């Protein structure tokens, strides 16, 4: 609704015309469609729940258990996006820590999971939508992308691991009443192949039109229901943001203002904008006002930390926690703010220095 409202307001300044079609990045929309369909298939097959159960079952030191729970969304978000990682693992964590009698660990673990998903997802072009968009908008090579973000990803991994290992030293027993199993291994093998094709298309080895045709046809034949699980609302939201950003670029005074801010510091401007309008729309809005792709890429990715709306994935994790039994909103929000703004300050300082 917010994206539609922004697009509608911008249309008051730039009346609708055929030029609107030029704003829309069809390649990004097709890639998102394919990736969401494939990830929905992975979820259907139970890949992530099986992985989590096999890693966590049995007798574990609580610190090791916390570390594993934090690393699961960190690494999985690189492939399935930060929001899907949190949708998968936060409810799982709430249930598991409750069953293990460790409810006092829920707040710190869920907060670290949220940060982990936001920082882990920045490591790959498919980890979050803004990376996918910026790779296409600036024609980034694999070397450009990974050379910029991997150092920050590795630093984040070390910091998150250290944070997860802070806590009481005790042993807990984790048992799952219903062991999970892979559903439809044949479909899983096909989905893995489709995911590899998605990666080839991200780096322009395979044309996105061919990828889209292959994914849609294969899924229609094998499991058409997966296409119904795609978040078409997200695709529509992107269309609205494309229109909004395109119209903003057509307003001379605003174009000059944003270009001036981005010239001063694309990194800090995009990180600040992410705190207010979230990092995905910030990347779409600001991409047309700078050639400093590195500053913009780091700004919107690191800018996923901070306020709860800086990354929509954070709102997902917060919603799951606040709707859980015995949730304590004030302590959660206080710790969330301390961890997020502390991490944002440190990472932005390093990005400015190096």
Residues 225 and 238: their CA atoms lie apart, in Å, by: 23
Q: Residue 131 contacts by C-beta under 8 Å, 6 or more apart in sequence?
A: 121, 122, 124, 125, 145, 297, 301
- To the nearest 10 degrees (0 to 180), the angle between helices 252-264 and 279-286 is 110
Q: Residue 202 contacts by C-beta under 8 Å, 6 or more apart in sequence?
A: 31, 125, 126, 132, 135
Residues 138 and 246: their CA atoms lie apart, in Å, by: 16
The distance in angstroms from the start CA to the end CA of the chain is: 39
Q: What is the pLDDT of residues 143-202, one digit of tens each?
A: 999 999 999 999 999 999 999 999 888 888 888 878 888 999 999 999 999 999 999 999
Residues 308 and 210: their CA atoms lie apart, in Å, by: 37
Residue 55 has pLDDT above 90, yes or no: no
Q: What is the pLDDT of residues 305-346, one digit of tens each?
A: 999 989 988 988 998 999 898 899 999 999 999 999 999 999
Number of neighbours of residue 302 by Cβ within 10 angstroms: 28
Give the pTM: 0.89
Lookup: tokens for 162: 């250290």
**pLDDT confidence band for 1 (50 / 70 / 90):** low
- Cα four-point dihedral sign 207, 211, 217, 218: positive
Domain residue ranges of the chain, discontinuous segments joined by +:
2-353
Across the range 213-240, mean pLDDT stands at: 93
Across the range 227-250, mean pLDDT stands at: 89
Across the range 207-232, mean pLDDT stands at: 95
Residues 298 and 351: their CA atoms lie apart, in Å, by: 8
CB of 282 within 8 A of CB of 307?
no
- Cα four-point dihedral sign 301, 307, 313, 318: positive
Q: Which of 47-51, 158-162, 169-173, 247-251 has the highest mean pLDDT?
A: 158-162
- To the nearest 10 degrees (0 to 180), the angle between helices 279-286 and 293-302 is 160
Which CA distances in Å does 11 have to 106, 244, 316?
45, 8, 30
Residues 306 and 244: their CA atoms lie apart, in Å, by: 24
């Amino acid at each position: 609704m917010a994206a539609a409202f922004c697009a509608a307001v911008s249309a008051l300044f730039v009346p609708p015309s055929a030029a609107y079609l030029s704003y829309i990045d069809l390649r990004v929309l097709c890639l998102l469609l394919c990736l969401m369909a494939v990830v929905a298939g992975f979820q259907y097959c139970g890949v992530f729940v099986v992985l989590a159960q096999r890693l966590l079952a049995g007798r574990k030191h609580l610190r090791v258990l916390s570390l594993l729970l934090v690393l699961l969304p960190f690494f999985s978000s690189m492939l399935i996006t930060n929001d899907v990682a949190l949708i998968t693992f936060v409810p799982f964590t709430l249930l598991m820590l409750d069953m293990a009698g460790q409810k006092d660990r829920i707040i710190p673990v869920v907060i670290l999971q949220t940060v982990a998903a936001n920082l882990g997802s920045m490591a790959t072009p498919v980890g979050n939508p803004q990376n996918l968009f910026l790779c296409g908008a600036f024609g980034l090579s694999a070397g450009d992308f990974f050379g910029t973000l991997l150092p920050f990803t590795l630093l984040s991994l070390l910091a998150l691991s250290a944070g997860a290992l802070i806590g009481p030293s005790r042993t807990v027993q984790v048992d799952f009443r219903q062991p999970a199993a892979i559903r439809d291994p044949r479909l899983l093998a096909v989905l893995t192949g489709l995911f590899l094709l998605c990666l080839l298309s991200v780096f322009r080895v395979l044309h996105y039109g061919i990828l889209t045709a292959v994914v849609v046809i294969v899924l229609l034949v094998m499991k058409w229901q997966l296409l119904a699980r795609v978040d078409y609302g997200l695709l529509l939201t992107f269309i609205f943001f494309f229109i909004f950003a395109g119209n903003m670029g057509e307003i001379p005074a605003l174009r000059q203002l944003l270009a001036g801010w981005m010239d001063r510091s694309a990194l800090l401007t995009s990180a600040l904008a992410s705190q207010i309008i979230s990092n995905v729309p910030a990347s779409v809005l600001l991409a047309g006002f700078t050639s400093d792709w590195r500053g913009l890429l780091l700004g919107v990715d690191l800018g996923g930390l901070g306020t709860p709306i800086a990354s929509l994935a954070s709102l997902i994790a917060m919603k799951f926690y606040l709707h859980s039994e015995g949730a304590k909103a004030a302590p959660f929000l206080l710790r969330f703010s301390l961890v997020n703004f502390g991490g944002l300050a440190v990472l932005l300082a390093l990005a400015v220095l190096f």
